[in-house]
């Protein structure tokens, strides 16, 4: 097969330089602004550049929640309650000393009778905005309390404010990329970019991060960095815009 017989790939439109139809400026044989006696004054026919642009950004989680469970079963109710209370106080004190605010700590308790003994169980949920502090607190509790407490793997997530910020930033980044593309098109033809006539977000996508995990890996064996990567949110935005073309780009005269 000769090269001339090969099908041509579909063309991709980088930008369009258009002049609006006559109806957009005025009806035929009717004066329009900028016309005097049917003749054009200093205002040339309007021209436009149509461009599209996109951007992609990501945001790591800004919060982590850790659950700490503990319990005690004793023959006397007071002994079971005292054993759990001492450890709860130590957990709360350790968190406060490392800058965790009281409103970020939630404690639930359950007291019950099991056979001929009394059982008390408690759960402490701590929300961290500083992941370094989270690791310091968890390491300290493992060192000091050992197997008397069960610390769950951290659950990373985003606040509503963080998600809204990501959406705004990716949209603005896409608008900026679209405007720069329009400027480059105009400069290529010696034109100057004018004001925007239309800016429209055509597509917005969000998805969570993926990790390169081995089939044997489970959610309980992931490292902290793998959990952060898995909880990272990605967002992309696609923008369509129409800009005015002002005319030839003015060049500054260089002094000799």
Residue from 218, 226, 228, 192 nearest 58 by CA:
228
Please enumerate in sequence order all residues whose Cβ is within 8 A of that of 114, keeping only pairs 6 or more positions apart, or say none.
73
Integer Cα distance of 208 and 60 in angstroms: 10
Residue 179 pLDDT greater than 70, yes or no = yes
Q: Which residue has the tokens 């939630």?
A: 106
Q: What share of the chain is helix, strand, coil (3-state, %, to 5)?
A: 35, 35, 30
Residue 29 pLDDT greater than 50, yes or no = no
pTM: 0.73
Integer Cα distance of 221 and 227 in angstroms: 10
Q: Which two tokens stand for residue 175?
A: 């608008």
Q: pLDDT (tens digit, 9 = 90+) per residue, 70-113? A: 999 999 999 999 999 999 999 999 999 999 999 999 999 999 99
Please enumerate in sequence order all residues whose Cβ is within 8 A of that of 90, keeping only pairs 6 or more positions apart, or say none.
144, 145
Strand ranges (DSSP E) for the chain? 15-18, 35-36, 39-40, 48-59, 63-74, 105-114, 117-128, 149-151, 155-157, 191-208, 233-248
Residue 25 pLDDT greater than 60, yes or no = no
Q: Which two tokens stand for residue 37?
A: 């006696």
Please enumerate in sequence order all residues whose Cβ is within 8 A of that of 9, keeping only pairs 6 or more positions apart, or say none.
none
Share of the chain above pLDDT 70, in %: 75
Integer Cα distance of 16 and 21 in angstroms: 14
pLDDT value of residue 218: 58
Residue 256 pLDDT greater than 60, yes or no = no
Integer Cα distance of 86 and 106 in angstroms: 16
Q: pLDDT (tens digit, 9 = 90+) per residue, 32-67? A: 444 334 444 444 556 899 999 999 999 999 999 999
Q: pLDDT (tens digit, 9 = 90+) per residue, 127-178? A: 999 999 999 999 999 999 999 999 999 999 999 999 999 999 999 999 999 9
């Amino acid at each position: 097969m000769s090269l001339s017989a090969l099908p041509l790939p579909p063309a991709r439109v980088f930008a369009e330089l258009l002049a609006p139809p006559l109806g957009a400026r005025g009806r035929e044989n009717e004066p329009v602004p900028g016309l005097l006696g049917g003749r054009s004054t200093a205002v040339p026919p309007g021209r436009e550049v149509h461009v599209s642009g996109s951007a992609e950004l990501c945001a790591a989680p800004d919060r982590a929640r850790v659950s700490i469970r503990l319990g005690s079963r004793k023959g006397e109710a007071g002994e079971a309650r005292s054993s759990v209370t001492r450890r709860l106080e130590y957990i709360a004190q350790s968190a406060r000393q490392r800058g965790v605010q009281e409103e970020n700590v939630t404690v639930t308790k359950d007291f019950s009778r099991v056979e001929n003994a009394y059982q008390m169980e408690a759960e402490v949920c701590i929300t961290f905005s500083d992941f370094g502090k989270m690791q310091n607190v968890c390491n300290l509790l493992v060192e000091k309390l050992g197997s008397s407490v069960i610390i769950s793997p951290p659950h990373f997530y985003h606040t509503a404010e963080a998600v809204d910020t990501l959406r705004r930033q990716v949209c603005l980044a896409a608008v900026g990329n679209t405007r720069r593309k329009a400027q480059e098109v105009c400069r290529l033809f010696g034109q100057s970019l004018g004001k925007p006539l239309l800016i429209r977000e055509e597509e917005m996508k969000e998805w969570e991060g993926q990790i390169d995990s081995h089939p044997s890996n489970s959610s309980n064996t992931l490292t902290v960095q793998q959990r952060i990567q898995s909880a990272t949110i990605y967002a992309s935005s696609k923008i369509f815009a129409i800009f005015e073309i002002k005319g030839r780009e003015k060049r500054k005269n260089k002094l000799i």
